[in-house]
């Protein structure tokens, strides 16, 4: 078992083990518990009642966070010609094809999101082994394989994040920074939960959402009251 430091153990004492917290109460608590000296990331963790080994139970999609992520997102666009110029005008950090395929194969991963036009995927597909495990592979379902590269860039820069269930049926995604206001974090949390609920696969049986937890970087998790958390979607 990993050993936790004194500050973490002090933070744990502030969480009532068997309590399910109201979302606003949980946000207030994780802010109070945060002890790191940087602007910690606030994360959402959702345990799902799916079996990711089956294709019809895979959960994947995107969520647009109204208040953004609080992080500068570096975007790489695989495009040529007019679409490359469109990407540069829209604020892409890196635009090109062959040179970036080469750099990635050599180990470079200096970007957060990769977008590609469909005609470039024959070249990008060769990067699957490097980009796939890191969640960086352009994908039509995530809106990152598209001819409308300008729109995709704007959405990513504004706060669109991807999510994908892992092999333990858990989704974890950032929903902002500890410096955000409570209202901003609650709005982002509502959008993230809504996107995951909407992404319920056809093969999911029984209870889809099993638990919802929020935490910040290096802090203990705070479990949310399920009905209250799901009600954020309609607020």
Span 17-29, average pLDDT? 95
Give the CATH fold of the 75-157 domain. Rossmann fold (3.40.50)
Name the phi and psi angles at 210, rounded to 5.
Answer: -100, -35
Q: Looking at residue 4, what is its pLDDT?
A: 75
Split at pLDDT 50, 70, 90, the class of 71 is: confident
pLDDT computed for residue 235 by the predictor? 59
Give residue-wise pLDDT tens across range 147-159.
999 999 999 998 8
Give the integer Cα–Cα distance in Å for 63 and 74. Answer: 18
DSSP string, 31-66: HHH---SS-PEEEEEEEES--TTSGGG--EEEEE-T
SS3 200: coil
Taking only the tens place, the pLDDT of each residue in 176-212 is: 999 999 999 999 999 999 999 999 999 998 999 999 9
pTM for this entry: 0.80
Domain ranges for the chain: 6-69+160-234, 75-157
Q: Phi/psi of residue 214, each to 5°?
A: -120, 150
- Is 1's pLDDT higher than 50? no
* Cβ neighbours of 151 (radius 10 Å): 13
Residue 111: pLDDT band (50, 70, 90) is very high
Task: Output the CATH code of domain 6-69+160-234.
Answer: 3.30.190.20
Cα 120 from Cα 234, distance rounded (Å): 39
Average pLDDT in the chain: 93
pLDDT of residue 234: 58
């Amino acid at each position: 078992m990993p050993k936790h430091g004194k500050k973490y153990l002090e933070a744990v004492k502030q969480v009532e083990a068997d309590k399910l917290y109201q979302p606003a109460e949980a946000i207030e608590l994780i802010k109070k518990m945060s002890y790191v000296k940087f602007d910690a990331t606030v994360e959402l963790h959702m345990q799902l009642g799916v079996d990711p080994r089956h294709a019809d139970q895979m959960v994947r999609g995107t969520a647009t966070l109204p208040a953004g992520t609080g992080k500068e997102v570096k975007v790489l666009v695989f495009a040529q010609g007019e679409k490359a110029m469109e990407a540069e005008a829209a604020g892409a950090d890196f635009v090109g094809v062959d040179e970036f395929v080469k750099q990635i194969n050599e180990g470079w991963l200096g970007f957060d999101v990769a977008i590609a036009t469909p005609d470039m995927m024959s070249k990008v597909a060769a990067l699957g082994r490097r980009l796939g495990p890191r969640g960086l592979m352009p994908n039509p379902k995530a809106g990152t394989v598209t001819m409308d590269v300008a729109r995709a860039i704007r959405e990513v820069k504004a706060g669109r994040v991807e999510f994908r269930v892992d092999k333990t049926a858990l989704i974890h995604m950032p929903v902002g920074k500890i410096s955000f206001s409570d209202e901003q974090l609650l709005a982002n949390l509502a959008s993230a939960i809504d996107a995951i609920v909407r992404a319920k696969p056809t093969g999911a049986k029984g209870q889809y959402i099993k638990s919802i937890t929020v935490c910040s970087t290096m802090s203990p998790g705070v479990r949310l009251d399920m009905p209250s958390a799901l009600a954020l979607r309609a607020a």
